[in-house]
Amino acid sequence: MRTRKMVLGLIVTLLFAVQTVHSQQKAAPGTVQVHVVISDLAVRSDSEIPRLRQDEVKVKQGKTFLQVTQLIPARGDNAAIQLVILLDDTLNTSAVGNNLTDLKEFINAQPSSTSIAVAYMSNATVNMVQNFTTDHDLAVKAVRLPRGNFSTMDSPYLSLISLVKSWPQQNVRREVLMVTDGIDRLRGEKPTASQLGPAFGPVYHSMPTISVDATSASEISQRYNVIVFSIYSPGVGRAGRSAWDIDLGLSGISKIADETGGECYSLGTSNPVSFKPYLEQFQRTLDNQYYLVFLATPKKKAGLQRVNIQTEVSNSEIAAPDNVWVPAAE
């Protein structure tokens, strides 16, 4: 009888422990769970990247530290990823041609947990030539030379928005590798007030700032937890030879990469000799990503909220979205 009571007591204790753990995983009153993917980057590229623990990652909103409830390495059973290789059809074929071999080798080297799609940007949308597949040979065969010409609406930012909006939600990492010069040829000129006075009316000038659609593309990517990486490669046409347009294009794709938690790889505005060093760095980033869950205070309406995700671990620097989508208060 005594043994039976001890067994029953042990079962009750275990059930209580399970219930306690389960309750700890639920959001505290007045908070909601936020899920985001972060990357652990090395401060010194020649050094090993340390593995992060949950208590080593801090999430700050303003002056307030938010509670981190989970940090799950994107490895093993959690390694699944959907990766879109997104190439701009306005790329200069002679400049990018040899580098496509590097891209194909990168695709072939991916593990079976990586599902890859290949798409081309033109007419402010995307031409999906290969849907998501773990048959990497199919993805390699879908990679072709860009057309190296114009369409009626060439905007890498509107194309990215189109891709993200049509991407079905999945509980896996969702990432994009864009190859583009970032030049918004659709909005390359805009009217401004004449410096000679109102009588001269609006005067068209070359786009003086980064495309407004770069901001929209960044926000929509953060909204749907899509991390955007980019490789700069020269494009065709007069804009592709304009130092002003080239700088703005590189600034646009750098902005999106920085704000979504990705990176922009470039040799300034010069044509890269090889994509291989960039793809090796990209692969290292993919191999050191985590699912992060923390508690945030919701507002009446769902929306993006600014957070700062950081760590003080030696030789570790976290790349994460600038903003996270916080559901509305229930």
Question: What is the full per-residue pLDDT of the chain (330 aa) written as tens digits?
Answer: 444 444 344 333 333 333 433 334 566 778 999 999 999 998 877 678 889 999 999 999 989 999 999 999 999 999 999 999 999 999 999 999 999 999 999 999 999 999 999 999 999 999 999 999 999 999 999 999 999 998 888 999 999 999 999 999 888 999 999 999 999 998 866 667 777 777 777 877 666 788 999 999 999 999 999 999 999 999 998 888 888 889 999 999 999 999 999 999 999 888 899 999 999 999 999 999 999 999 999 999 999 999 999 999 988 999 999 999 999 987
* pLDDT the model gives residue 28: 73
For the chain, the helix, strand and coil percentages under 3-state DSSP, each to the nearest 5 = 35, 30, 35
* pLDDT the model gives residue 191: 66
C-alpha–C-alpha distance, residues 281 and 288, integer Å? 11
Pairing outcome for strands 264-265 and 64-66? unpaired
Domain residue spans in the chain? Answer: 28-75+289-326, 79-286
* pLDDT the model gives residue 80: 97
* pLDDT the model gives residue 20: 37
* pLDDT the model gives residue 19: 40
Q: What are the strands, taking DSSP E only, across 156-311?
A: 173-180, 189-193, 202-206, 226-232, 264-265, 289-296, 303-306, 308-311
Looking at CATH, the fold of the domain delimited by 79-286 is given as: Rossmann fold (3.40.50)
Give the Å distances, CA to CA, from 57 to 1, 65, 296: 49, 11, 15
C-alpha–C-alpha distance, residues 237 and 111, integer Å? 38
* pLDDT the model gives residue 322: 97
* pLDDT the model gives residue 22: 39
Instruction: Write b or e for each residue in 140-151: b if 16 or more Cβ atoms lie within 10 A of its Cβ, otherwise e.
Output: bebbeebebebb
Per DSSP, the chain holds a count of helices (H) and strands (E) of 8, 17
